Structure formats: C-alpha cells, structure tokens
Structure 1
Amino acid sequence: MKRIILASASPRRKELLEQIGVDFEVVISNAPEIITKTDPQQVVEELSRQKAEAVVKQLHGTEGETVCGTIVIGADTVVCKDGEIMGKPRDEADAHRMLCLLAGSTHSVFTGVTVIADGALVKTFSCGTRVHIYPMTQEEIQSYIETGEPMDKAGAYGIQGRFAAWVKGIEGDYNNVVGLPVSALWQVLKAL
C-alpha cells in the first residue's frame, strides 16, 4: 500500500478524503503561489501542481524520507465570475465585494488537482461547477461576513456552511465546490 499525502491545509479537503475512506496524512506545502496563467482552469491546475511538487521536494529533502512508494495530492480552488478569478478574501471589505458580485447571479468554481506518484507526475486535471446564488441583501451579506466563515474560502463563501441558505442550485460536482472533486480523484488513485 502506498503512502498517500494531501498537500493542503484545508480542513474541507481532509474531510472529503476521509469521507471516501482514503488513508492519508497531511503535509502542508510551503510553496509560494505563483500564477502565470489567466484561464481559471489553468490557474488551479498550475497552483495544484506547485503545491504537490513542493511537498515532493520537502519529502525528498527530509532525512529518512523518500518519495518512492508515496502519492502526493495537491489541490487548489478558485471562484470565477465575469472573468474575475477570486481566491480567499484579503479582508472583510474584500469578502463584501466578492459576495456582492456573486449575489443574485451564477458563477463557476474550479478545482485543480495534481497527483504525483513515486516522484513522477501522474496527472493534473481540473473540474468546474456552475453555482447559482439567490439575491442577498446588504444586511444578509454583512451578517454572513460577521460569522467569519467567508474569510478562508475562495469566493468568500462555503457552500457546506451557512452560505447554503443562498445557494439556488448547482450544475456539476458539489464536492468540487467544497474543495476537492473526490470522485474524479478516486478514478486516478484506483488506477495506481
């Protein structure tokens, strides 16, 4: 059995992998996020690959560690609305701006995933999901921000949390919006 490492600090990604029964450990990537692309699918693929490769380098440089027999999974999620790529908000004002853009409209969520096995790239892919949001009043937006929930999430919301009250519907993989398209990832893992 190969050792599986999730190169992410996201508690949501951890929960999703646990949900499908994957035995893994977490090693947080220390890589700076460097974006050279403008297409959101290419951006998340690029960032997921950077995270996975950074963890492989961390493991290779750790005394006694080896990348042989190891699978590293990197992931990154962004929200995209009208060509704007939204990551995590910088502050409450940025969260407010994002939520105002998303309220009463449709946007896309993209998650990129990279799988590296035994130090070699296996696959990098991305999934997209369309999310339809009900209108929100300024009071609802402010009240949601005050929960603190938006501050560590792409697009300033968590579909699996309180924000579910405004989600009209989705087209695509729900888990992708949470942060990891586990069914697509499982197809890659079971082939290894």
Structure 2
Amino acid sequence: MNSKQKNKLILASGSPRRKEMLGISGIEFSVIPANIDEAPKKNESGKDYVKRNAFEKAVAVYKNFSQQENAIILSADTIVVTKNDVILEKPLSEEHAQNMLQLLSNDSHLVYTGYTLLQNGAELISRVIETIVTFRKISNEEINAYIASKEPFDKAGGYGIQGKAMGFVTNVNGSYTNVIGLPLAEVLMDLANYANIKPFQ
C-alpha cells in the first residue's frame, strides 16, 4: 500500500466501472462485493431507495467480510428514475429493456447514485447525487439493435452512457461519472475529508 494512504479502503461493489474510476484516481483499495436484497420497498422514493441500498451494502460487507480494524468501506448504488419517480433497474428481458428505452426516448430522466462511507460499523457520510440526462428520439430499429448488442442487461435503466448508448444522449446536467455509477468528484472529496484518503499521492 502507498505509505501515505494510512487507512485501508474496501470497495463494496463488483462493478467494473466503479473499480476502473476509483483506480484512475490513484487510490489503493480492495474489492468485496456486497450481497443484499436490492428490491425497493413499497412507496419508497428513488432517492431513499439508493441511499438505503448503499448503506445496507456497506453494513453487509462490514458484518460478513471485513474484520480489519479502521478499514473504510465505500459502497454505492445507482438507479435511473423517470420524472414521475418510477425506478428503472437493470432490465430482466429484451422486452423489459425495450420498454425502458422507449420510455426514456425523447425525454429527460434522473440518475441517482447513493454512496456511503463506513468505518468500524459507523457511518461517516452518506449522500445521494443527482444527474439529469436527456435522450434524443430513438427509433425502434436503434433500440432493437442496441438490445441485440447485450449492453443494456447489466445496467440500471437499460443503458450505459459510456458505451454504445452515448449517441442517444443530447444533454447531461450534473456529474457525468454519476451516470456511469460513481460520482467521482464527490466521492474523492469525502474520502479526503472523512477518511484521510487522498487521490494521486
């Protein structure tokens, strides 16, 4: 470990995109994916849902895997939400993905990422970051071709802004990295302020 990074960091996520973004920052960390029931509760808002999921992921990793004293656990959860606060999770089928993309076509939607920093079972900070994304009108032919690429199926809302769907996007209002799955600027500031873990050391 970098001698300047005193606290060990654990990323409680198996997402390759989160791992890549955090790695680019020069911070050293290990990966221990969380395994929780991620189903939304009845009448739960999108913001409450991602905040709860992120916190529960961090707690699950702390209880089940991390016995290392003072280790910092970073967890995150990202969802796509319509303007009417309908949560769009990862599509379960081609038809499900098609319905999602048709819903997002020619309109704006919200992307929420909730994240938590936990140390020794105590919450250091939890936040929810919001980004507004606008799609151009997408033809059914484009939607079917995109679904055939298989890209939608491991992504909230059925699309990846950093992948083949980037051509659907006409505007991003807020954090771009938030849409990929981790609001990196905010996370790095909180790691420095709450955990004394700083990038690029």
TM class by smaller structure: over 0.9
Secondary structure at the aligned position of 2:65 is classed as: helix
Q: Report the equivalent of 1:78.
A: 79
Q: Report the equivalent of 1:40.
A: 46
Secondary structure at the aligned position of 2:28 is classed as: coil
Whichever residue aligns with residue 130 of structure 1, its letter is I
Q: Equivalent pairs: percent with the same residue?
A: 37
Distance 1:125 1:98 in 2: 26
Select the residue among 134, 146, 149 that pairs with 2:148: 146
Q: Report the equivalent of 2:172.
A: 170
Give, in angstroms, the shift of residue 41 of structure 1.
1.0
Give, in angstroms, the shift of residue 34 of structure 1.
4.4
Deviations 1:53-93 (A, max 9, x none): 10001125xxxx32x12000110001011221011111111
- Aligned partners of 2:62 and 2:120 also within 8 Å: no
List structure 1 segments (4+ residues) > 6 angstroms apart after TM superposition: none
- Aligned partners of 1:35 and 1:46 also within 8 Å: no
Q: Give unpaired runs (5+ residues) of structure 1.
A: none
Alignment partner of 1:23 is 2:25: no
Q: Report the equivalent of 1:111.
A: 113
Aligned pair count? 187
Give, in angstroms, the shift of residue 38 of structure 1.
1.8
- RMSD (Å) for aligned C-alpha atoms: 1.1
Distance 1:111 1:34 in 2: 16
- Aligned partners of 1:88 and 1:156 also within 8 Å: yes
Distance 2:17 2:129 in 1: 17
Q: Report the equivalent of 1:12.
A: 17
Give, in angstroms, the shift of residue 140 of structure 1.
0.2
Give, in angstroms, the shift of residue 123 of structure 1.
0.9
